Amino acid sequence: MATFEIGEHDFLLDGQPHRVVSGALHYFRVHPDQWRSRIRLGRMMGLNAIETYVPWNEHSPAPGEFLTDGRLDLARFLREVQDEGMHAIVRPGPYICAEFDSGGFPAWLLRERGVCVRSREPKYLAAVTQYLRSVMEIVAPLQIDRGGPVILLQVENEYGAYGDDHAYLRALTDRLRACGATVPLTTVDQPEPDMLRAGNIDGLLATGSFGSRATERLRALRAQQPTGPLMCSEFWCGWFDHWGAHHHTTSAAESAAELDELLAAGASVNIYMLHGGTNFGLTNGANDKGVYQPTVTSYDYDAPLDEAGRPTEKFWAFREVIGRYCDLPEFDRTEALPFVVPEPAPIEVLGGLDDVLGPASWSDHDQLVTMDDLGQGRGLLRYRTRVDRGEDAAVLSFGEVRDRAWVSVDGEPIGTLSRDRHERAIVVPRSQGDIEILVEDQGRVNYGPRIGEAKGLIGPALFSGEEIGAWQTAPVDLEALPGAALEAEPTALPRGAAVFRAQVHLQNPTDLAVDSGEWGKGLLWVNGFTLGRYWRNGPQRSLFVPAGATRRGRNDIVVLELEATAASAVRFLPDLDLGHTEY
């Protein structure tokens, strides 16, 4: 079996100096049928390793569960990396950030009373222990000293920007070792002296996260860690996007020059990202540093491989740089082909949520409750209450809205409350009737002190200055909706959220780009596969459909439109449209 160790100045592969040239590729953001093509292209760019996070919340949607099917088949992903002749780096967190929902923490963990994440709090550590056991049951047999591809495991993630409890880091390290970790363990932090000291302990290799000024940052890393290989384990070559902002891009030439400086210094590297992929379903995270900013569905990241896995100018620029330091496989430059563009697929109106899913099952409460109070981790929740104040109009207000709420009275929409605009009050035109509110969780915060906050309507709920006590709630069954839509009968356009259906016929399974420019805000499914959210706020104006979600012949499309659309059909684009690139 091979060995991989930390030497005085280098990584040692079977005792010989070895430079790691890796790229980040998150298996959970890519359709599994397309893992191999992205991995192979990474090798063609000159990489010798692939790195991935592990999302605790996706694998464990409920306590005691650890799902490993479909896009969560980590073992298959690591074997495919090995089949391409490459090594693997695994970063199981338990906190991963990654612009992913809750930074990877499961919603059920965060709502358990007394749990304090990223600490030695006993309930948290007990849950982490079980999680790491489940991860290592997969990863341990695939370490390099057992014939597998895994050469490095990371402990926590940029912990020095959060805390300085070295005993917590030691507890995670001990648990990984107890679960069979034999390869070197690492940490990552921005190369600031205080962060490096706070985020590392003896026995772990400290690595850096940065995208520029490599010589300076490596000097800071060496000052903190006099021996061992230098590594930038997150070389930021792009950035992520928020709804309502712009699409971030970086110059391919400038990014390549920064990579050249890093490699010229003799350091190892993990390019973040090689291929970003897509926040399929409702998996996107969010930031809130005073303004709530949910992350868009695309995680293109302006990476060397675009959201559809096609080489970009950055790919070729990086390949040229890597070729100055490593042997490159032969690979002809080819231009990215346009997408297949089917004819527009006319839409049928299926009515509202009750028309498609059947009458909601309402539960009664004597106070305002959140999604988390009901055990709901993601999605949409309906609220309903009866008011009778005897006034012509009144103000309805809440402590906070998380994250977007559509308000109606007796079935008539009256307005929207949006967290990103700090809205929490609305004028109700009449003070008698049934108030119904549809609330969308737009993504849980993945960074900072607001990780773990509840979703839904946050009290107090006041109407004309008086608190509303009695409420009813009904979760929207988004998993059942696409199947139910195929059985529903067309009907009139409802007032409020609407469900649409369309069909597109394909000669063969193929990647597609759905044009979302005519749609308002909502979700779209293809053959039951949840592509993710669209929103007129932009910047992105397309949704990527992986070929693995399509089939030869008839393909069923279902759209849940939460606001309004001018579309008469589902239309397709010859390329992805990720939006404007300037403020």
Residue 352 near residue 481, CB atoms below 8 Å: no
Q: State residue 290's pLDDT score.
A: 95
d(CA 417, CA 424): 6
* Pair 542, 576: CB distance under 8 Å: yes
Q: Find the mean pLDDT for residues 270-281.
A: 98
Prediction pTM value? 0.97
Alpha-carbon gap, residue 569 to 367, rounded angstroms = 42
Residue 483 main-chain phi, psi, to 5 deg: -70, -40
**How much is the average pLDDT of 305-322?**
98
In Å, how far from its chain's centre is CA 167?
Answer: 29
pLDDT in tens, 356-395: 999 999 999 999 999 999 999 999 999 999 999 877 899 9
| Bridge partners (DSSP) listed for residue 57 | none
- Spell out the domains of the chain, with CATH numbers in brackets: 4-322 (3.20.20.80), 345-351+479-572 (2.60.120.260), 367-469 (2.60.120.260)
Shortest CA distance to 241 belongs to which of 274, 289, 281, 287? 287
- Ranges of beta strands (E only) in 143-256 are 150-154, 185-189, 205-210, 231-236
The span from the CA of 337 to the CA of 334, in Å, is 9
Gyration radius from the chain CA atoms: 25
Is 500:348 a contact under the CB 8 Å cutoff? yes
Is the pLDDT confidence value at 583 over 80?
A: no
Cα(396)–Cα(416) distance, rounded to whole angstroms? 12
From the CB of residue 392, how many other CB atoms can be counted at a distance below 10 Å?
9
Distance of CA 340 to the CA centre of its chain: 27
> From CA 183, how far away is CA 3, in angstroms rounded?
8
Measured distance CA(313)–CA(317) in Å, rounded: 6
Among candidate residues 493, 402, 474, the one with its CA nearest the CA of residue 436: 474
Query: Read out DSSP for 321-341?
Result: HHTTTS--------PPPPPP-
pLDDT band at 582 (very low <50, low <70, confident <90, very high): confident
Q: If we measure between CA atoms, which residue out of 23, 32, 84 comes closest to residue 51?
A: 23
Nearest to 406 by CA among 227, 190, 562, 566: 562
Could you give the 3-state DSSP secondary structure of residue 470? coil
Q: For residue 454, which of 384, 364, 377, 380 has the smallest C-alpha distance?
A: 377
Whether the predicted pLDDT of 431 surpasses 90: no
**Residues linked to residue 365 through DSSP beta bridges, in sequence order:** 471
The percent helix, strand, coil of the chain (3-state, each to 5) is 25, 30, 45
228-261 tens-digit pLDDT: 999 999 999 999 999 999 999 999 999 999 999 9
E strand segments, 303-440: 345-346, 348-351, 363-365, 380-388, 394-397, 400-402, 404-409, 412-418, 425-428, 432-440
- pLDDT tens digits, one per residue of 474-490: 999 999 999 999 999 99
Under DSSP, the state recorded for 158 is S
CA distance 180 to 203: 16
Q: What is the pLDDT of residues 432-477, one digit of tens each?
A: 999 999 999 999 999 999 999 999 999 999 999 999 999 999 999 9
The residue whose two tokens read 């002809």 is 332
The torsion defined by the Cα of 324, 326, 330 and 335, in degrees rounded to 10, comes to -60
Q: Give dist(CA 481, CA 356) in Å, integer.
A: 7
Band (29; pLDDT cuts 50, 70, 90): very high
Q: What is the dihedral of CA 558, 561, 565, 567, to 10 degrees?
A: 0
CB distance 192 to 173 below 8 Å: no
In whole angstroms, give the CA distance from residue 107 to residue 101: 9
CB 91 within 8 A of CB 129: no
Q: Which residues are catalytic?
A: 158, 234
β-partners of residue 511 are none
Q: Which helix (H) or strand (E) holds 217?
A: helix 214-224
Q: Residue 298 has what pLDDT?
A: 98
Percent residues over pLDDT 90 in the chain: 97
Q: Is the pLDDT of residue 494 over 70?
A: yes
**CA-based angle 489:490:492, to the nearest 5?**
130
- Coil, helix or strand at residue 60: coil
Spatial separation of the C-alpha atoms in residues 26 and 79, rounded to whole Å: 14
Note the pLDDT tens digit of each residue in 138-185: 999 999 999 999 999 999 999 999 999 999 999 999 999 999 999 999
Using the structure block, give the residue that is written with the tokens 């107090």: 460
In this prediction, residue 575 has a pLDDT band, given cuts at 50, 70 and 90, of very high
Measured CA to CA, the distance from residue 410 to residue 209 in angstroms comes to 53
Residue 322 has pLDDT above 70, yes or no: yes
